[in-house]
Structure 1
């Protein structure tokens, strides 16, 4: 039997020719606007991988230019200045590219190869490079290789922010002890906090038109406090208190009227023991109350006709105008939950987690525990009543804090919004007899909380071994 002729092997292109060919192919590409949803999703995934591979080529080329000291021949102060002169990314972007290119060439072969395959992004590669730079000097070459391989594997499944958090504990991949891992993580956080304080700036200028323009750079903790306050002040929920109060009064009047009618209609003017007239009216009125509150809240919110930037700006103005002036070193403006156990509070060096999804060093946590505006959620400490049954409709601040200890993010599958942003949802609807208890509390971000009550969606709830709820949404046909 004659063998089929072998297919010709495509010649290997040089990197420069390959990039030119990519441009030629893109010139022939049709409009993405004509794609179906499935094809568009595929394009997004493949385009991200292609971008990563092109960035890998660019970084390798930068390393070549840097080794050849091209900048010396052109009169530039260095490779970063040469890149900034040729490109549009600016000096800061050029410096970051050069730093990453140098790190990939010098000590991160696995990361370089993964980036060339498009298995991770330059943001992931930057996190891996920073993690490698922060490793203690005592780490051996083989341990470094294991740590790099571990992070490259994780980069395929987590975003750069999560990878950075896990990177601080990558000494575990090198087989180091728990004490060594904790001490290294705390040291990295303390170094970041010191660098953040050095980088802190506030610049303000009078525009002479009734406005002041400013720019600031602050540590993540201070920025988190400000963001949390402003977002809560700008939230449409601020309209809910008055709307709920009015609706409650209306419900009470409706219930009283229904009870009077029910009693009058019963034989002999007594209560009708066989019917549920007043209860049925009360349930219907409760549903109407809830719907009326939602309509009024959103109507008042939309009536402002402002962008989110304007809403946040006005909230910031309100915050500034109500700052205390009698003792400026007093309470901070927001409650931040610091999650730590008793040993951490007293003498450990393990990092503490905030309910916003960030981490701080143990020393910073102990400092914050002295402030009246910071609430340390010390595990195994004195507890508060967290189960309220049917006694109250709304979850309490103590229940919110307990939730922040258990959950890092919104409980919806795939949502990474911090639990500090969450609204507290009843697993069993309170209007249908559900309890306001901790084991029935589900933290959902505003978007997912709205979806939980959207009739166009159904959802399933599962509970993991740590007692955390997980919500999966399904669009109804």
Structure 2
């Protein structure tokens, strides 16, 4: 397979060098159709490879928390795209043979595969295997004419074509299946933009959508005749108000050993003379004016940092026992320190580099932040953890993974 893929890659490279502008229009259209078919057939191969790697546990064996995270680093994908690749591989693996053949033949694309698989599953539940097999043929034929969104809409009435005697009775089942899909696909994504803002996107099921509307709409009304905020800006501000209200209740569960809270790191000059920006423990930047405003209603925890960013001394709040040490770890590691992990500080445990049971101290020089997955992974003993010369953690991989055992560091949380 590897040699055949290399030959295909070479053939595609030759196509890239060919002057497309010189082709007559009918050849351009034919070449576009062929390129699209080839893209779908390659997608089928890629998904089969992803499914095989996922089944073998390659990702976790190499230290990644999941196949999606491993694909993110291996193929340099966004984590959302990597997760979708794993999900599509699983969908194709469980899809009827006719659907897999259609993708391998280039007659459907991966998004249509997801629609067909969902629809056939609903038909199987409502009308049995014979009707489901008929539905595959109908849907594959429709896929040659309709894009995924319209294909899904048409699929809601597929029983009219494959089992008309059950169509009316199955309407309720189809509605329930759609509700199940909405529940399965529910998700909210927070994507950091280059300037420190977050892009919020996602899909809410009907219940969560109703709760959000009920909570946010009373806060989105214009504050007065001079309020020039757009509707989108008012919804943004209302969401921020909801978060403030939730934090002030004091009823949220602890997160990472600390109360749910907004943590800002800044210099004394910033606070006193409004000279520079502050930084959240998620690495987002805040303006000096915002830092001073937040400080009006905040507990202040002083810390002294060395020139390379290592924490030299951390103050103590009376009501906290382990808080100062954890804050020092957050300031130093900025999140899970294991190479390639992007988990934030509040998802992490404090790990003793030399185990406490073996006499290791509970101190900054003997601690490192690790997410739950990598905490378990390090405790298996294959990776060695140590502090480098600049006081920051580095990880030595096992010999089977890297015969030279070169130390690795996490670059996601690196200070710039």
TM-score, with length taken from structure 1: 0.38
Q: Which has the larger radius of gyration?
A: 1
